[in-house]
Amino acid sequence: MQTENTRTGALSPLEAAQSTFETALHHLNEPTQLAFFKNVFGALLLSFGGIFALIVSQGSPGLEETNPGLPKMLMGATFPVGLVLIYFVGAELFTGYPMWLAMLAFSRRGRPIQYLRALVIPWLGNLAGALLVSSVFSVATQTLTPEPYKSGIISLITSTVIHAKWHVILLKAIGCGYLVTLAMFVGSQNQDGISKALGLHLPFFISTAIEFPHTVEYMYLGSLAMMLGAEMSVWMFFWKCLLPVTLGNIIGGALFTGAYLWWVYLYCEDGERAKDWLLSDGQQDM
């Protein structure tokens, strides 16, 4: 369908929701090895964005005392560079899958085993990529081992994970799941490069600046802090860092973005046109 928004280079919300649904169908049937390596590559890019963000935000420790909001703003402004690159090269992150799977589940598409595979394989691929960057490109290269970066990273994880309560981490992660999937949706709405980059960047900027944890971000930051000497065991890394962040991101992405897009644009708004599309274009991709 042609709309004014389409002719000016942007999809309407309805068209973007339909495009997101088509992407979900694709990922549901994606070969396992392809899904794994696309998520390894996605984690590499996001983690390299993490290196950049840590260099910028932790390089002036005096700022934390005189202007504690500025390092958070610097972190928020730089970390999303990785997400923009991921979208431009066609890599993936685990945090997008809850949105896609929620839209499919409400439309009664796919089988439970497909849903399980679509969560586990990307998560493992992201973990592999994040560990590679933290161990090889952050520690072995000594990029982040000198001061003030070392103590700054340890302090960051100590405050956001080690000393934080489990349920607080979970609640913050729900907010991140919502914001990062919103970034993906807004990015898919815009067709030109600059608008797409801004759409991807701004919601993730908010999430990172207010320290709402992202699964892949904390796969990288948590493992890096452990290697630098943070008082966090492997058990704590999985139980108190990755588990609440992963669950929170799933809840936020599935309910706050996936369910919303399905309900508003594929079920309620312009109902007959959306239902016709679900039975025609959407069905052809199965």
Tokens of 76: 């928020």
Give the Cα separation of 47 and 88 in Å (integer).
16
Which three-class secondary structure state does DSSP give residue 16?
A: helix
pLDDT tens digits along 65-94: 888 899 999 999 999 999 999 999 999 999
Q: Would residue 5 count as lying in a domain? A: no
Residue 111 falls within a domain, yes or no?
A: yes
Q: For position 283, what pLDDT does the model report?
A: 52
Per-residue confidence band for 278, with pLDDT thresholds at 50, 70 and 90: low
Q: Is 27 inside a domain boundary?
A: yes
Structural domains counted in the chain: 1
> Does residue 206 lie within any of the structural domains?
yes
Q: Domain of residue 251: give its range.
A: 21-284
In a domain, 13, yes or no: no
CATH of the domain at 87: 1.20.1080.10
Q: What CA–CA distance (Å, rounded) separates 167 from 185?
A: 27
pTM score, whole prediction: 0.91
In a domain, 205, yes or no: yes
Instruction: Say how many C-beta atoms besides its own lie within 10 A of residue 139's C-beta.
Output: 17
DSSP 214: P
- pLDDT, tens digit, for every residue of 121-166? 999 999 999 999 999 999 999 999 999 999 999 999 999 999 999 9
The per-residue b/e assignment along 5-30, b for 16 or more CB within 10 angstroms, e otherwise, is beeeebbebbbbbbebbebbbebbeb
State whether the Cα torsion 108-109-111-114 is positive or negative: negative
HSE, CB side, 13 Å, CA atoms: give it for residue 92. Answer: 25
Whether residue 3 lies inside any domain: the answer is no
Task: Tell which wins on pLDDT, 268 or 213.
Answer: 213
- In a domain? residue 170: yes
